[in-house]
Chains A and B, each alone.
Chain A
Amino acid sequence: MAAAEAAGMIAIGAGLAVGLAGIGTGLAQKDIGAAAVGAITEDPKMLGKALMFMVLPETIVIFGLVIAILALFTL
């Protein structure tokens, strides 16, 4: 019972790590995305650079994922 409870807590923790980091990424990408669309409207050649900036905050969610993996799997 205790073991199952512990496993459940770990799962919740892992979920929170990915989920909250995802929210952080989303908040950052929301602003960048809006600015990027604006820039692309003015000059379609900016698409490449704009996409580049769009993926910058995705590092945050990857940190969350790493923590989740550390929690879930024994390395």
Chain B
Amino acid sequence: MFLPESMSRIVIVGANSCIDETIEALYALENIHLIDHTVDADEGFTLGTPRPYSPKTAERLLKVRAMEKDLGINKHTKTNPISESEIRSQITSDSVESVESEVRAVLDKRNDLNQRITELNAKKKNLELLARLPIDLDLYAGYKSITSVVGTVEKDPTQALGGMGETFVSMDKKAGSIVAVFVKNEDRSQAQNILSEYGFSEIQVPEGTGSVTAALQAVDSELAVVTKELAVVEQETGVLFEKHKHFLRATDEELTYDAEKGTLPVRIATTQYSFVIDAWVPSNQVLEVKQTLEKKISAVYVEVEEEKRGRRESEADKQEDRFKTVPTKMKHGKTTKLFEYPTKMMSIPKYNEVDPTVLIAIFLPLFFGFMVGDVGYAIPFIILGAYGLKFAKNPDWRAIATVLFFGGIWAFIFGFFFFGEALGMHFVGHIEEGAVTYTWAALLGLDNLDKFFGMFLMNGHGVGKIDPEYVGMLLRLSVYVGVVHLGIGYVTAIYNKSVQYGFKHGFLEKGGPFLSFVGVVIVGYAIAFFLIMKAFTVDEMLPILIVGIVVLAIGSVLVVREEGAMKVIVDLPDTFGIILSYTRLVAIGMSKAGMALAFNYIAIGMIAGVDPLHGGSAGIVMVILGFVVFCVLHLMIWTLAILSGGLHALRLQLVEFMIRFYEGDGTEFNPLKIKHVKTISNINTKEA
């Protein structure tokens, strides 16, 4: 539960003739984590070459992906999965090629039309400019001794060109200015030089005869025809999209795995006639893997190299480099698995360290629930969380839903049994004149609630989050929770190192911080109860203080021995800091309770004018208005509760808690397997 699953290392040896069969079998087993072969790792072995079918698969995959891109099919496109055997038979009967020729024909037509439209638009733009000059199209060219220079300009160049030739200009700031100059052939470059100073940019005069306006009309009508054709082709594309989307998505998936399988030999060691595969397998499945493979394929032998890799670092040190890192397979039940997300957010745990997921699963919802601590907010959290867990697919949303659901349950428990609150108001309690408190019992006129809640709520009405009477107790409580939580963190650190190097080493390395922490707690306890709470006399305090200092000193000596004196100086104030950091458990709750108190006063007291002491209200309209304001304001607090409650609960895990022991940076167990999304796995082929 705390350490990741035990792993064993196996070697699969077989004849090259059955490599395809073996690859299929490995994928079907779904628990083989391949160890990549490195060049020169073993003498006489070389890396394998892709299977003969690989190039064809890659080519088909490329075609499928190109078609998907052109048709606008992507992973968000909703398609129906197709059975694997059907897709396979379609691929072997060259369906990809036939679909491609069908799609390509339409797409080529679409591309041609799009290109034609671009050309026509460019031509139209030029013609629109030329239409402003009183020259027919055929007059621009075809002379022996003179030439025309036509283009757009920014300023009027007539003056500068002077008597060089005939100049026609039409200036228009908005639509662009055009100039056409007719000069002698030999003056052409000089004219261009002069024009360049006026922001000249030459345009091509379209070939043709007659007036520009007529040509423009011709272009317009052609454009209309082409656009119409394009619409037809677009429609055809839409039909193709609908017709082939299922096939293309499924083929994409199938071919992707085929390509992966085809290039698998590149990751393993081969000789002329045989292959060798190194792999990690969960220890409890080794026998099953060996039996299945050897029974299924005659020319394959499986040797168990390492029965079960131990957690000691010394065991890993003995191995070759590529066998040193063992993949981590987190071992969790259905519920704890939901909390793997925050762990992974930090890092994957190493094979030989505690996987903090279980601890997070306990404390994250607990802290969230304590910070919210209100029945009125808890119920929507539970509903929203349950809904998310049932329907959400995205891992981010699922992680949020997990916290909301389990945190919501804790919030309900704390809100009902400890704080006795819903929407910032106690269920029952004594209302004082002038104090801005309302209770549900008084608002709803249910006097007999007192008895029911009096049975279990502290002082008969529960703990008030911002009641001076309870603030001290809540603060102390949060510090105690912090001490316990951090204590677990420090002990886990010792355990981790003990697992890796033995208890003596573990204690010497991580015992120092733990003892310093315990020392700080005892010293802090003595000083706080003496100075702030005034619960101890000097005589009572001194022995406790001395014990604390002694423990702290032993811890510090161990830390100095391990990491130097600087570490002690830096860590001591830090330890106080991280313990006090847990007071956020109360602080967040207080801030929300404070807001709720003010909002309730605004909605119930000021707008609706309800007076719980003497009865009466400001009329039905104001009561309804007050109710609406009440809902809106509480929705705001509720939303803030997700952010502040969720983030701070998470932060206490990731920062205060996990930094005490967690190293992470492990490799995730990543077995060869096919994740069927757009295809339906074919059990029959699996068993064959």
Contacts and interface: CB of A to CB of B under 8 A. Distances in A.
Contact of A75 (B396, B472, B581, B590): B472
Contacts of A58: 584, 648
Interface in B617-663: 647-648, 650-651, 654-655
A66 B585 CA distance: 12
A69 B297 CA distance: 73
A69 B583 CA distance: 11
A62 B533 contact: no
Given A48-B345, A73-B471, A59 B654 contact: no
Interface string B513-554: 000000000000000000011000000000000000000000
B163 interface: no
A74 B583 CA distance: 17
A69 B532 CA distance: 12
A51 interface: yes
B654 A52 contact: yes
Q: Which 6 A-B pairs have the closest CB atoms?
A: A75-B472, A73-B468, A55-B647, A62-B584, A62-B587, A59-B581
B597 interface: no
Nearest to A59: B581
Interface of B: 345, 396, 468, 471-472, 475-476, 532-533, 577, 580-581, 583-584, 587, 590, 647-648, 650-651, 654-655
Contacts of A72: 468
Contact of A48 (B396, B468, B476, B580): B396
Contacts of B533: 75
A56 interface: yes
Given A52-B654, A59-B581, 14 more contacts: A48-B396, A51-B647, A52-B650, A56-B651, A56-B655, A58-B648, A63-B580, A66-B475, A66-B587, A73-B468, A73-B472, A75-B475, A75-B476, A75-B533
Interface of A: 48-49, 51-52, 54-56, 58-59, 62-63, 65-66, 69-70, 72-75
Given A48-B396, A73-B472, A75-B533, A66 B651 contact: no
Contacts of A66: 475, 580, 583, 587
Nearest to B588: A62
B263 to A, nearest CB: 28
A23 to B, nearest CB: 17
B324 to A, nearest CB: 29
A62 B475 contact: no
Nearest to B529: A75
Nearest to A48: B345
A54 B648 CA distance: 11
Contacts of B650: 52
A66 to B, nearest CB: 5
Contacts of B471: 69, 73, 75
A49 B341 CA distance: 12
Given A62-B584, A62-B587, A55 B532 contact: no
Given A48-B396, A66-B580, A55 B648 contact: yes
Nearest to B472: A75
Contacts of A62: 580-581, 583-584, 587
Contacts of A55: 647-648, 651
A62 B577 CA distance: 10
A73 B466 CA distance: 11
B651 A65 contact: no
A43 B581 CA distance: 30
Contact of B651 (A52, A63, A73, A74): A52
A66 B533 CA distance: 14
Contacts of A70: 532
B647 A69 contact: no
A48 B342 CA distance: 10
A1 B475 CA distance: 31
Contacts of B651: 52, 55-56
Contacts of B345: 48-49, 52
Given A52-B650, A55-B647, A55-B648, A69 B475 contact: yes
A59 B647 contact: no
A51 B651 CA distance: 10
A72 B594 CA distance: 15
Contacts of A65: 583, 587, 590
A52 B472 contact: no
